[in-house]
Amino acid sequence: MATTAASPGWSPDNNWFWDGERWNDAVSEDGKWRFDGSAWVPFTGSRTAVPSPIPPPPPAPPTPVAPAPAPAAVMPTWVDPSEIERFEREQQERAAIAAQPVEPLPAELDWRRAGEFIQYSRTATVPSWKHGYTSLFIYLGLLWLCSPVALVYVWLTEWRLYTKVYRTVICCVFISALMTYARSRYGM
């Protein structure tokens, strides 16, 4: 004998509830209270036997619900409704722009391939006597042998301006020290 449920999950007498695996008693053990699905209410009837183990038919599948519109932006009450509409329009525009496919960059602008397109190398076009250790040794040799020529050489190199200025100061100090030494030694 199959029983038909009064409502999905409840037995016909509403004293038992099917939880998906077994029947659960909806009447308290003392028989004075019955759970109606949301609260315990007074009960004056009698307890019934457990219904047959055949569960009630499953509830009908829910009908598809149309997606709810996006909630409006939460804004303070002093914001003009037209501003809220503008914000929503801007969000839709940004979403439309983000949805568009992005074209790949040309190879020469792609940062992952940056080293492949470098065509200028300063050290390859500057002679060795104008930069690097070679120019430093030439400068030091000229400073000891002929300081005025070292002063001119400093400004012909490819050194930075700061380096040229302080090496010029060093040359001038060195020349003045040599002149002072020559005056004191030879009585000039």
Q: Which long-range contacts (CB under 8 A, 24 or more apart) does 9-18 make?
A: 9/56, 9/59, 10/37, 10/56, 11/48, 11/51, 12/51, 13/45, 13/48, 15/45, 15/47, 15/48, 16/48, 16/50, 16/51, 18/55, 18/56
- In this prediction, residue 3 carries a pLDDT of 46
Per-residue pLDDT of the chain (188 residues; tens, 9 = 90+): 444 444 457 777 767 767 767 777 677 777 777 777 777 777 777 777 777 766 556 677 777 766 655 555 567 778 788 888 888 899 999 999 988 888 888 877 888 887 777 776 665 677 778 888 888 899 989 988 888 898 899 988 888 899 899 999 999 998 899 889 989 988 76
Tokens of 87: 């914000």
